[in-house]
Amino acid sequence: MNNNWDAIVVGGGVIGNAAAYYLQKSGRNVLLLEKGTVGLGASKAAAGMLGAQVELTEVGPMFELARESRKMFPRLQEELKEMCGIDIELVREGMLKVAKTDEEKVHLQSVIEAQRSFGENTKWLDREETLQMESSLSDSIIGAMDIPNDGHVNPIQLTQAFSKSAVALGATVKEFVEVYSFTELSGKITGVHTNIGDFYGENIVVANGAWSARLLKEANINLPTYPVKGECMSVITERPLIKSTIFSQRCYVVPKSGNRLIIGATSIPNSFSEHVSVEGISSLMQASIDILPDIQRAQFERAWAGIRPQTIDELPFLGVHPTIENVFICTGHYRNGILLSPISGKLIADMMDGRTLPSYLQAFTFERLKGVITT
């Protein structure tokens, strides 16, 4: 076994695999270690929304990061398909963020204005226009923010595609390997201790989501993150019900191929449990029926949960360790992991290459929380 890697990535979710892919592509010999099986944590529990505009209602660094990442998908789809044969099922049919109250309407209209000033394509639709676009929507809605450029992918396929493409390029992926702590030599971190022995690498990327904080303690950082359980369900309709993704205050409904709708997601902080609660499913059913009454007659397929990593200021960590120059941290993507995976992976590779980085990246370093992060 080759045991001297250019980069060791800890975590086999969408973020870790994206990092592995871009690192291997940039010429490094990469080892990815995953404690369970690839893509079966938060990544599988996503609906795969690329909701740059729908999720981020404030213009700022996070919005820039999201826009950059969203842009990458069309080429990425071709690239990954070419590399490993997996289709990430990119759909670019837009989103509608519906309002049911005047308060919501006023809020959405201000968001529209802000995003437009920023050059984004979005506009307000009144009830009639909204129903014209999506006739299955409940007529209790009073209008919607129209976001033609947001879309979605298949999150499981995306994670697999990053992973298998990295492997096709020469990376090694090991499942059922748990990273416990770091190996050190003369004060320098040289690799990782795992349940099957030590692995040595020039650089370490910590990308194991809600489990990153635990590992980073071993590198003297108290990362202010916490797990947030999200529950989802899927249903199947007889005929296509919607073309756009529908987003309300209480849920979202994403139209996948095969007349499958993914309905998500609850948010239960501080839980690592992957059990699905009656309460969660029941509330998703009611919230989705409330905007799309025909869901009532749909076939229930299944329900599942995943644990997303959230940070105290709701921004991901994307940068080098404050004091250890060969440890990179890439976590805290919460609901935006799928959307942000290409840019996150790419920026990690760029950092390692010593390239000039976009200025907005400052917002995602550790310096922003200097007083908070104890090292």
Q: How many CA atoms lie within 13 A of 51 on its CB side?
A: 26
Binder of a copy of itself out of 6, 68, 79, 87 (CB under 8 A): 87
CB of 172 to a copy of itself, least distance (A): 8
Candidates 79-87, 130-138, 141-149, 340-348; binding stretch for a copy of itself (CB under 8 A): 79-87
DSSP conformational letter for 275: P
Candidates 95-103, 119-127, 280-288, 328-336; binding stretch for a copy of itself (CB under 8 A): 280-288
Judged by CB under 8 A, does residue 135 bind a copy of itself?
no
**Cβ density class 117-127: b for 16+ within 10 Å, e for less:** eeebebebbeb
Binder of a copy of itself out of 116, 188, 297, 355 (CB under 8 A): 297
From CA 162, how far away is CA 14, in angstroms rounded? 8
Cβ atoms of residues 306 and 228 within 8 Å: no
Binder of a copy of itself out of 106, 196, 312, 372 (CB under 8 A): 196
Amino acid at 180: Y
Measuring CA to CA, which residue among 190, 180, 224, 194 is closest to residue 325? 190
Closer to a copy of itself by Cβ: residue 62 or 303: 303
Judged by CB under 8 A, does residue 173 bind a copy of itself?
yes
Judged by CB under 8 A, does residue 269 bind a copy of itself?
no
Judged by CB under 8 A, does residue 259 bind a copy of itself?
yes
From CA 91, how far away is CA 74, in angstroms rounded? 10
- Binding positions for a copy of itself, 136-165, rule CB under 8 A: 160, 164
> What number of other Cβ atoms are within 10 A of residue 195's Cβ?
11
Tokens of 345: 């992976």
Binder of a copy of itself out of 84, 153, 265, 351 (CB under 8 A): 84
Cβ atoms of residues 16 and 162 within 8 Å: no
Binder of a copy of itself out of 75, 116, 188, 275 (CB under 8 A): 275
Judged by CB under 8 A, does residue 99 bind a copy of itself?
no
Binder of a copy of itself out of 220, 300, 312, 362 (CB under 8 A): 300
Judged by CB under 8 A, does residue 2 bind a copy of itself?
no
Q: Following DSSP, what letter does each residue of 199-257 receive, concatenated?
A: EEEEEEEE--GGGHHHHHHTTT----EEEEEEEEEEEE-SS---SSEEE-SS-EEEEEG
Judged by CB under 8 A, does residue 79 bind a copy of itself?
no
Q: Which residues of the chain form contacts with a copy of itself (CB under 8 A)?
A: 84-87, 89, 91, 160, 164, 167-168, 173, 175-178, 180, 195-196, 211, 214, 227, 235, 238-240, 256-259, 270-282, 285-286, 289, 295-300, 303
